[in-house]
């Protein structure tokens, strides 16, 4: 719980009221402010509504004011200095701090160049990752390939019968018929002595 004097309480209520008014003019929800500034929703509501018993020490309140002001497009440091942690507090001048209440959030200006750089860098990543486009096949190249294929097929068709004939000749060995030589028996000559010794038959 914050321990504040009367002057600090009055200044804090004025600051919270002006921050709430500026937030509503920019159509920003308090939940969005809490998410962007990392300030608890309960603390933001207490700051806007002037519920001093729910706020922490003055040094922390000053930090909340600075972050809240920066988010709404104000000079957060100057706004935070109007709520001093010392006695007496600095006089709060709403017109000098808030200025134009229709000012846009600085985060749009801060993050817009980053978004543009990311979107412009994205195509470079895509072009590096994507493969180069394939070149179309020229017509004459297709004709050359078809001609070579036809020539190879013709040579194969011509040589195929010859290879078959040579293969069959190797498989079947040539057998020559064996001619049987005729056996000739030569008549034995009669012995003249035997003829002379043979008895002769005389006629009667």
pTM assigned to the model? 0.41
CB-based contact 105:24 (threshold 8 Å)? no
The owner of tokens 């990752």 is 129
Residue ranges and CATH numbers for the domains of the chain are 6-107 (1.10.260.40)
The confidence score (pLDDT) of residue 87 equals: 52
What is the rounded distance in angstroms from the CA atom of residue 7 to the CA atom of residue 17?
16
Q: Over 50: is that where the pLDDT of 117 sits? A: no
Q: Each residue of 68-79: pLDDT tens digit?
A: 999 999 888 888
Which phi and psi (to 5°) does residue 89 adopt? Answer: -75, 155
How would you class 84 by CB atoms within 10 Å of its CB: exposed for 0-12, middle for 13-18, buried for 19 or more? middle
What is the rounded distance in angstroms from the CA atom of residue 160 to the CA atom of residue 183?
50
Q: Each residue of 8-43: pLDDT tens digit?
A: 788 888 998 999 999 999 999 999 999 999 999 999
Closest by Cα among 57, 56, 21, 28 to 42: 56
Q: Each residue of 176-193: pLDDT tens digit?
A: 555 545 555 555 555 545
What is the rounded distance in angstroms from the CA atom of residue 28 to the CA atom of residue 116?
24
The confidence score (pLDDT) of residue 31 equals: 93
């Amino acid at each position: 719980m914050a321990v504040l004097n009367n002057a600090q309480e009055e200044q804090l209520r004025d600051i919270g009221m002006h921050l709430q008014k500026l937030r509503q003019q920019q159509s920003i929800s308090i939940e969005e402010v809490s998410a962007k500034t990392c300030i608890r929703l309960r603390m933001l509501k207490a700051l806007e509504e002037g519920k001093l018993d729910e706020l922490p020490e003055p040094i922390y309140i000053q930090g909340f004011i600075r972050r809240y002001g920066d988010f709404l497009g104000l000079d957060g440091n100057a706004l935070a200095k109007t709520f001093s942690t010392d006695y007496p507090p600095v006089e709060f001048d709403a017109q000098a701090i808030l200025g134009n209440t229709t000012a846009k959030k600085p985060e749009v200006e801060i993050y817009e160049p980053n978004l543009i750089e990311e979107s412009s860098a994205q195509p470079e990543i895509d072009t590096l990752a994507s493969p180069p486009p394939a070149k179309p096949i020229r017509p004459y190249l297709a004709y050359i390939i078809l001609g070579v294929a036809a020539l190879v097929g013709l040579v194969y068709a011509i040589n195929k019968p010859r290879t078959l004939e040579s293969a069959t000749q190797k498989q079947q060995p040539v057998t020559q018929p064996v001619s049987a030589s005729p056996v000739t028996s030569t008549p034995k000559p009669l012995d003249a002595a035997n003829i002379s010794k043979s008895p002769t038959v005389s006629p009667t």
